[in-house]
Structure 1
């Protein structure tokens, strides 16, 4: 899309991520795509000083993207805490609130910048950028690292505020009280314990809770949503207006290219893609199970022991990417060394999933992992733990039918024999073969979506066109 086609200077977009692995990386990938395809769109990515190094791979590939480093500290947070890496979910709320202190510095920067910004593209967890956009007289587009269904469900909760009946104790992790979403396609019903932790822990009148709710309501005041998804996976949720998003434009532009950040997406991998690939080369197509539970969840010792026992008893070949804090049972690696590989620290997940030997992914169902598996045509064994993961798991198992349930819940400890049976049947059984075939078909749809003329390609072109149109409108008002 050339600037001359619009007869005007290209837009200047302010991008504001939320500093969590699963949120920040896909938004940076989107920024990279906009810089490649946007015909000269200028992009400024605002981050706190401690997160500036995370932009280095992006900046090296995208000269039209500039960083804006903002000093940051807040009395509610420990000194130096600027990212959720290795933190429990309880810090998400505190960091969401603390980051709103950047409103003033960003407003001052934008008003002083020689090239006025024409739109803000910001993460779903930084809703405070909506009033910032209003003060600057520019539109805000909300980027969601979740799917369309997950995005609609989370916003519906904070609009409708369904409540469960009082219980004798306060532990809602075992509460199966049903919460219906009648306005969503297929009218899903989820038990209370599977709803977003941010919603379940809402306390009326508590300043942090009220800020979180206000964050989601601000999102609904935005110009539209940009979602890392594609029609082949969520067609039903793109074709029909969604509850509480019905008046909003939704651009499904995924899977945003996971290679945009190169091999440093989560830090230097402890095993190189070449080393992982060489090990996988020794196994037949589709015979290896990749095991990873994301960048936030560390398995408790009983959970790690159960996973290790299940992998050992299943007889399946596997690669297990182990996050810090997860204790692999002593002697396990030696016992299974001929068919199992344990990677401690950051693993080259995209390259592993893309290897022909990998047919299954035992996953927590975080949306980035879901899309990376979908793009690779890999079937999934689901173990949702928190956030939107239960919504994602239901989509994969019941609707897309590219997954098989393996376990359920962040505190659940699977029965090793049962998990071993599920893994073995997935790799070798008839049902597993059928699910794998559907996963391969989904992988083909994902590839077609991002090719020229595909649905996500067209959505991205439409988004870029809209950014140019919005630039013209805001320029005329100034």
Structure 2
């Protein structure tokens, strides 16, 4: 291999949109720095990934390996969005099935090494825990990606007995860790020591702790005070590298290419936003690709939005079987837009007409919203989302909680009051100002000389030095 050949990084995302997108952003950030990137995925996930990196074909390639056929999963199910249910047992089967990709992964790395394109590291999703053994066999550092922020990751790892039974109202104290909010039993994922998902997570956690390092989609100014504590939970002096908000690397490149500095994204929902008068006047509602709300809850959201009287864009998403009544559609016509297709969420949040985001508080959505200076009305549903929601509302003060009670169905009046408070009240105004401050910090972090820009350079240089040794 010629001495001038660029450093090579392999990126292996878990087959879920929320896990894949930030790693695609990291792929682009590495390619902007002149690195060669290979993304590993499966046949049915490849078209989506190709569509996201098609402008970088000279530096980013996609290698496809087969997804295994296993009895517990429907044939052709290669992404968590296509799982027949949201049960943890099914998710455990899906994660376990990926282990059957190990032989193909090893063959790919072997070919890279033999052809003189040895990677300086493999950036692997934490659910693909089995990649650690393969990386070790080739003496290639494994850098793990969680898709979570530093603080929620720290809390989940610090909670040394996750399966300890506790009431949802119990206050949980974590030794030597000061939190910016009260941690209750209801904020942590439900855990059963006998279920398949818990057994998988124990394997995942062991591989995670033994990885060379962890790459985090966050930035020093947002969560820097928790980084040292997180690193202390890893073995062999592993480092946590905060290189986010990773979506902004691409935005900066777009702005340098476009004379007007505007996003090139378009669609019916952007055209609708363009027609609205004023700024920060539309509230955006979306619960991500995985959440599946009941028809009863969808009705409550619909009537809550109507009662609030605000202009809104509501992405129905995976709750696509829900159909609103015709009377409601007539009453909100002109001030509300219901979207059933996939949307470019980032372009919506970047639009100056959007002034709030009703969100499940997945970490990607939190960072996308804050990076664009948009406050959140936090409505956590599962996983670490309650931690993200409390961090945003109580720690960062860049949003409000739709409700502090974890109930099966949130009433329309509660939804109405939350939307109006975010969009009209002094509390909402304060949250919006704080979100804009954090947005400025996020952009500065990824600019030349910013904290995330320097951390990414530091990570690359450290890996190159290891390869030389």
User: Above 0.5 in TM-score?
Assistant: yes
Is contact 1:231–1:252 with CA below 8 Å preserved after alignment?
A: yes
Q: Which moved more, 1:179-188 or 1:418-427?
A: 179-188
Aligned to 1:366: 362
Quick check: 1:74 aligned with 2:69? yes
Quick check: 1:235 aligned with 2:224? yes
Aligned to 1:313: 307
Aligned to 1:472: 468
Matches within 5 A, 1:229-308: 229-238=218-227, 240=229, 244-245=233-234, 247-257=237-247, 260=250, 273-281=266-274, 282-308=276-302
CA RMSD of aligned residues (A): 2.6
Aligned to 2:258: none
Aligned-residue offset at 1:248: 2.5
Match of 1:121 among 123, 126, 137: 123
After TM superposition, which residue ranges in structure 1, 4 or more long, deviate above 4 angstroms? 239-243, 258-263, 408-411
CA distance in 2, matches of 1:259, 1:328: 39
Matches within 5 A, 1:324-403: 324-326=318-320, 327-331=322-326, 332-403=328-399
Change (3 A) 1:425 1:207: closer
Aligned to 1:161: 161
Is contact 1:17–1:24 with CA below 8 Å preserved after alignment?
A: yes
Is contact 1:147–1:227 with CA below 8 Å preserved after alignment?
A: yes
Aligned to 2:13: 17
Change (3 A) 1:36 1:180: same
Is contact 2:231–2:240 with CA below 8 Å preserved after alignment?
A: no
Aligned-residue offset at 1:436: 0.9
Is contact 1:290–1:319 with CA below 8 Å preserved after alignment?
A: yes
CA distance in 1, matches of 2:131, 2:210: 11
Aligned-residue offset at 1:260: 4.8
Aligned to 2:316: 322
Change (3 A) 1:328 1:448: farther
Match of 1:213 among 184, 202, 209: 202
Change (3 A) 1:405 1:470: same
Secondary structure of the corresponding residue to residue 407 of structure 1: coil
Aligned to 1:93: 92
Aligned-residue offset at 1:42: 2.3
Secondary structure of the corresponding residue to residue 236 of structure 1: helix
CA distance in 2, matches of 1:201, 1:345: 36
Quick check: 1:130 aligned with 2:126? no
Is contact 2:249–2:446 with CA below 8 Å preserved after alignment?
A: no
- Stretches of structure 2 that go unaligned for 5 or more consecutive residues are 255-264
CA distance in 2, matches of 1:211, 1:418: 37
CA distance in 1, matches of 2:406, 2:18: 17
Aligned to 2:149: 147
Aligned to 1:438: 434
Change (3 A) 1:26 1:112: same
**What are the Cα deviations for residues 169-200 of structure 1, in whole angstroms up to 9, with x where unaligned?**
xxxxx743444323334286533333235xx1
Is contact 2:91–2:197 with CA below 8 Å preserved after alignment?
A: no
Change (3 A) 1:112 1:278: closer
CA distance in 2, matches of 1:456, 1:80: 38
Is contact 1:385–1:409 with CA below 8 Å preserved after alignment?
A: no
Q: TM-score, length-normalised on structure 1?
A: 0.87
CA distance in 2, matches of 1:201, 1:421: 36
- Stretches of structure 1 that go unaligned for 5 or more consecutive residues are 167-173, 264-271, 474-478
Change (3 A) 1:11 1:18: same
Is contact 1:152–1:243 with CA below 8 Å preserved after alignment?
A: no
Q: Which moved more, 1:238-247 or 1:339-348?
A: 238-247
Change (3 A) 1:108 1:418: closer
Aligned to 2:107: 108
CA distance in 1, matches of 2:426, 2:393: 16
Quick check: 1:182 aligned with 2:169? no
CA distance in 1, matches of 2:196, 2:376: 39
Aligned to 1:428: 424
CA distance in 2, matches of 1:306, 1:222: 45
The number of aligned residues is 446
Secondary structure of the corresponding residue to residue 273 of structure 1: coil
